[in-house]
Structure 1
Amino acid sequence: MSNNQERRYTDQGEGQNLPKDVVGAVERKLREGDSFSPRNTDTPEFVSAVESASKTFQLRTQEATETAGADTVRTAKPSEAKKRELSPEQSKATLQTLRVRFQNNPHLHKGVKFEDVKKSLEANPEALWSIAQMEAKGHKPDVYNTDDKGFDVGTCSKESPESARNCVYDKEAADWFRKNRPNETFNGSAVEMAQEMGIDLMDPTLYKEVLQKKGKFDLQTWSWLLTHSNIRSTDNALSGARYGGGVYVAQSIATYPYDTRAFRGSLRVSWKA
């Protein structure tokens, strides 16, 4: 290979150290994005050497890309949505906390054995994860309703949880508030917070006819409750409270947050035979 041919692939000036062989020179230029087109002045040996070096470089590049792609997939896994499942230690701690509250509030679940609840939750890791989220947010979750098919774990704190107070009802209400009251602060929406925990808002019938008949809740606060679309379409949503000796479920403007109103959540779990 002549010096001119080698310089064609190295762009090295006079006095610079040139690559020892054409392979190194070709790979360097290909990495820089150059391509090879034979000239009439190139010797057959030079053309053959360059073509061979080009093929070798392409194979290496393909292998490196495939390897990098595999590494990218492996690296991307941690950024994927995490499974709603607790570690063994977290599961044990969550069940123990629930057990203590369950035993301290027998009036909420007369005739129910905690071992049956425990067995059902151990068979439903996602439900146990949701209960842990409720616990972390101050909902004081407990079993408050049962039937032949399963049981309901709900917000059993005496007052509406502080962590969620000053919230509007749902995303639609939150979007309206951000647009129309940009200088005022609020605490998100009840529906979205419940969804993040994997639970629903408590049904108003369960709130009034079950939970509030087993204890006295929301004496100083209000709680957003599950609202049917025919009510929500009027820009209102349901919230409940106990005052004046009675329990009330009333329509409220969904876009108005109050510092004495959060929400009550509920989670349905099937019995494990």
Structure 2
Amino acid sequence: MPGQSKKKLSATEQDELLQVLQLRFQKNSKRHQGIEWKEVEKKLLTKKEKLWSLNQMEATGGEPDVISYDKKTGEYLFVDCSAESPSGRRSVCFDKEGWESRKEHRPANNAIDMASEMGIELLTEEQYRQLQQLGHFDAKTSSWIQTSGSIRKLGGALFADYRYGTVFVYHNGAQSYYGSRGFRGCLRV
């Protein structure tokens, strides 16, 4: 993968990111009750490649924060917690196949490839609904979410948003893109 060796933050970048993450963590304690920052930070410092991915999430407007801890795997789940779909990840098709199927007006990228390049994954429907339990996200935007192979095989892809006090999951052609649709990612650390 091009640029693989560059997927490392300088000491200054690492310190700045950790400060941003810690401040957000402390400001939004309801998202991760029972989880202590010092434990999250300790884990991050042993998995520095994850810091690069979190920095990518931050740089594209995602405002990543911890929303849960998986006792089985011992991993913290960081998710984009920006109020709206991250601004630096909008106007993208669902995947490369959808992007290639467009004969004209192709967007610059697609959600699946962008997420892969960043070292993150699109949220599942379950994760999206879990996030919505912590606040109201995507009230003006929408976000592509993971889509089953059977739906994708037929040319479709799923996206979700929050309207009328409800989380909606919809379908669209994977080749479609809109200025208000991006994607939210998750990262296990």
Q: Do the structures match in fold with TM over 0.5?
A: yes
Query: Among the aligned pairs, what percent are the same residue?
Result: 38
Q: Tell me what 2:112 maps to.
A: 191
Q: Tell me what 2:149 maps to.
A: 229
| 1:230-267 Cα deviation digits (max 9, x unpaired) | 21111111111000110011222111101110001000
Q: Counterparts of 1:98 and 1:224 in 2: how far apart (Å)?
A: 24
Letter matched to residue 267 of structure 1? L
Q: Tell me what 2:79 maps to.
A: 154
Please identify which structure carries the higher helix content: 1
Q: Counterparts of 1:136 and 1:155 in 2: how far apart (Å)?
A: 11
Q: Tell me what 1:171 maps to.
A: 96
Letter matched to residue 252 of structure 1? N
DSSP 3-state at the match of 2:5: coil
Misfit runs of 4+, over 3 Å: none
Q: Counterparts of 2:22 and 2:3 in 1: how far apart (Å)?
A: 33
TM-score, with length taken from structure 2: 0.94
1:107, distance to aligned residue in structure 2 (A):
1.3
Contact 1:170 1:254 in 2 (8 A): yes
Contact 2:70 2:77 in 1 (8 A): no
DSSP 3-state at the match of 2:177: coil
| 1:33-92 Cα deviation digits (max 9, x unpaired) | xxxxxxxxxxxxxxxxxxxxxxxxxxxxxxxxxxxxxxxxxxxxxx97424221111111
CA 1:127 to 1:81, structure 2 compared with 1: closer, same or farther past 3 Å? Answer: closer
Q: Counterparts of 1:219 and 1:108 in 2: how far apart (Å)?
A: 18
Q: Counterparts of 1:242 and 1:143 in 2: how far apart (Å)?
A: 20
Q: Tell me what 1:126 maps to.
A: 49
Contact 1:164 1:187 in 2 (8 A): no
1:174, distance to aligned residue in structure 2 (A):
1.0
1:200 to 104, 121, 146: 121
1:112, distance to aligned residue in structure 2 (A):
0.7
Structure with greater contact order relative to length (CA < 8 Å, sep ≥ 6)? 2
Specify the structure having the higher radius of gyration (Cα): 1
| 1:154-202 Cα deviation digits (max 9, x unpaired) | 111000011121111011111112xx12xx2524101111111111111
* Structure 2: gaps (5+ residues): none
Please identify which structure carries the higher strand content: 2
Q: Tell me what 2:132 maps to.
A: 212
Contact 1:84 1:125 in 2 (8 A): no
DSSP 3-state at the match of 1:207: helix
Q: Tell me what 1:115 maps to.
A: 38
Contact 2:92 2:108 in 1 (8 A): yes
Letter matched to residue 173 of structure 1? G
Q: Counterparts of 2:108 and 2:20 in 1: how far apart (Å)?
A: 27
1:240 to 160, 165, 170: 160
DSSP 3-state at the match of 2:35: coil
1:106 correspondence with 2:29:
yes
CA 1:228 to 1:129, structure 2 compared with 1: closer, same or farther past 3 Å? Answer: same
Letter matched to residue 66 of structure 2? V
